[in-house]
Amino acid sequence: MKAILILAFALVGIAKIEGFPNYDPYEYSSDYDNYDGDDIAINEEEENEIRVDINFKNTGTTEIVDRGTTIKLPCYVDKFPENFVILWKRVRDDTIMALGEQVLTEQDRIKVEINRDGPNKGSTLVIPLAEENDAGQYVCEMANSEQKKLKHTVKIRDPPSITKTPSNGLYKAHKGDDVTLSCIGNGNPKPVITWTRMNKKLPDGREKLEAAEITFNRVTKHHAGTYVCTANNGFGQEVKEKIHLDVEFSPEVEVEEYFIHATEKNQVELVCLVHAHPQATVQWFKNSIELTDDDVKLERYGHKHTLTIPSVNHADYGNYTCRAKNVHGESAKNLEVSGLAGFANFKSAPRGNEPNSFVLEWTSESQTAVEEFELTWREENGNWEGFTVPAHEVNAINWAGKFAFTDLNPATRYEAKVSAKNQEGWSRLSPSFHFATFGAEPLTDTGSASISRSHLLVTALVILIAKLL
């Protein structure tokens, strides 16, 4: 029935335009029974009005419309005579949506605006509250003998949205786990997903990363933080979601100084830095005996834990331990409080410039005056020899020593250790200092026994000269 009604409307419009006065497709007239074949008389003025040339003023376009807004598709004509009709059709299902001012679709939100005057004469198809199903092609057609057409294309743009994993925005991981954070973008067109991290760069140093997923292998505490994924498809404002990565790990303990120099009646502070998640319980021990606030002053400032001895006496000297423990494990570092001098800090360059001599210089820190040093040395893999060296004051807590070796073998490696004596006694021997006479590479330079090619010829020449002398 609807199709018959549409056809009737079309015939009525065409009949009126083509000059059939008061034609009713359902009314029978006997006048036509007497038709004798003579031409119907049409005066010249009526013929000019009927055959007027009508053209579209605009062209078909592609309209990108945000979902929920209004679609307006214009068909403007240069002339709009009385009884002229424009038909609207949806191409997808070949549905006639409107004929003239009459809307034929069942969707009551659709309407047609007709303008017979002014520069924008014509018909405009209006579809409010645009939906995804409104996307497609639409044709406006002149309902006359020429049936000229104009086609519009509509694309519906959906705002971006994000489906994140985990959906609650919290990812709990343990140190060493592989972690994947996911933000799937939805919308039309498909949005671009960009990752950033709040208040800091991404773990690899980048400011941002374009991807639907971001994966970290063997996470550490440095991967923890709040990650932000942003979806943008050009529709209005971008959309953001947050995922917090929580990395749990056993305590990691660091100390600022392993050897703390102290003098009696002065204050001394021991510091250890503890990183752990969840937070660790920190204990201090002296010679395996736990210390409390009754014995010393214990404080915490974030990751920093301190033990303060307000006035050191001889009984306070000894080994201290900072131990941290949480549900994932424990860790500890040892510190020593001593009135002895600290390890020697060697100042000489390990590679010598002379074939038979080498000048060794060092300093040592001590709260009391260093009386003398003991220097122990040997040729590589040889026997140790030792002797004392005078100490010279550099400043209130630093003391220097110096010794010039002579009659050394050319192109040969050596090793030295130093201890210092103050009023508390002799300190422990320092770690070994490796050096070499000209022509050999010190062991500490490369960590191996290899000799550079540039020194091979020099070494051979030095040895030859030494033998000739």
CATH class of 2-30+42-156: mainly beta
Question: Tokens 């060697």 — which residue?
Answer: 346
Pure H helices in 30-75: 44-50
Which of the pair, 190 or 31, is modelled with greater confidence? 190
Half-sphere exposure of 16 (CA within 13 A, CB side): 11
Burial label, 59 (beta-carbon count in 10 A; 0-12, 13-18, 19+): exposed
pLDDT at 288: 86
pLDDT at 71: 96
Q: Are the CB atoms for 334 and 319 separated by under 8 Å?
A: yes
Closest by CA position to 355, among listed 447, 280, 464, 270: 464
Alpha carbons 175 and 459: distance in angstroms, whole number: 51
Whole-number average pLDDT of the chain: 85
Query: What backbone torsions phi and psi does residue 2 show, to the nearest 5 degrees?
Result: -65, -40
Q: CATH topology for 345-456?
A: Immunoglobulin-like (2.60.40)
Q: Would the pLDDT of 50 be above 60?
A: no
What percent of the chain stands above pLDDT 70?
A: 84
pLDDT tens digits, residue range 56-113?
999 999 999 988 899 999 999 999 988 899 999 999 999 999 999 999 988 888 999 9
Q: Would the pLDDT of 180 be above 50?
A: yes
Domain residue spans of the chain: 2-30+42-156, 166-247, 256-338, 345-456
Domains 256-338 and 345-456 share a fold: yes
Q: Would the pLDDT of 347 be above 50?
A: yes
CATH superfamily of 256-338: Immunoglobulins (2.60.40.10)
CATH superfamily of 166-247: Immunoglobulins (2.60.40.10)
